């Protein structure tokens, strides 16, 4: 593999991993655009080594971007369903549960992580192919 091809693969993988870290940066920092840019820089601390490992092991960019698409599509329905379940749990509890900023941050991180895990199962573990054969 030529150096130029490796560089292109590295840049594309880095963009994908930074895109995947963006929701966590949005959850952990205030909605100020400059703070978000700094948080993405902090996210690059994990994205750069992940992109290097990705390129060195010659993983498929097509699957990575399929995962990125699936994760971005699944975040919304998982967030709606998860927020509904959390609302029902809060109303069913006999005691009043306060929804502080830390609790909302943890809930948001759990919901985004659940969407990422579901997308990983669909793309990398063959869940989508099994669903397609079952309903076809």
Dump pLDDT digits (tens) for 91-115. 887 776 666 778 888 888 999 999 9
d(CA 42, CA 108): 19
d(CA 115, CA 21): 13
pLDDT value of position 130: 72
Q: What is the mean pLDDT of the chain?
A: 86
pLDDT value of position 9: 92
Q: What is the pTM of this model?
A: 0.79
pLDDT value of position 26: 82
| Residues 34 and 83 sit within 8 Å (Cβ to Cβ) | no
Three-class secondary structure of residue 91 per DSSP:
helix
Residue of higher predicted confidence among 135 and 6: 6
d(CA 67, CA 111): 17
Query: What one-character DSSP code corresponds to residue 57?
Result: T
Query: What one-character DSSP code corresponds to residue 94?
Result: S
Largest pairwise CA distance in the chain: 64
Q: Is the pLDDT of residue 69 over 70?
A: yes
For residue 124, with 0-12 CB atoms within 10 Å meaning exposed, 13-18 middle and 19 or more buried, which class applies? middle
| Residues 68 and 20 sit within 8 Å (Cβ to Cβ) | yes
């Amino acid at each position: 593999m030529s150096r130029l091809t490796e560089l292109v693969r590295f840049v594309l993988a880095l963009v994908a991993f930074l895109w995947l870290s963006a929701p966590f940066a949005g959850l952990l920092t205030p909605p100020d655009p400059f703070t978000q840019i700094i948080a993405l820089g902090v996210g690059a601390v994990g994205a750069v080594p992940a992109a290097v490992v990705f390129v060195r092991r010659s993983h498929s960019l097509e699957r990575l971007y399929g995962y990125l698409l699936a994760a971005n599509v699944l975040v919304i329905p998982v967030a709606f369903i998860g927020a509904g379940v959390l609302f029902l749990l809060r109303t069913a509890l006999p005691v009043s549960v306060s929804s502080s900023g830390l609790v909302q941050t943890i809930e948001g991180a759990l919901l985004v992580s659940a969407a990422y895990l579901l997308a990983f199962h669909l793309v990398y573990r063959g869940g989508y192919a099994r669903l397609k054969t079952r309903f076809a």
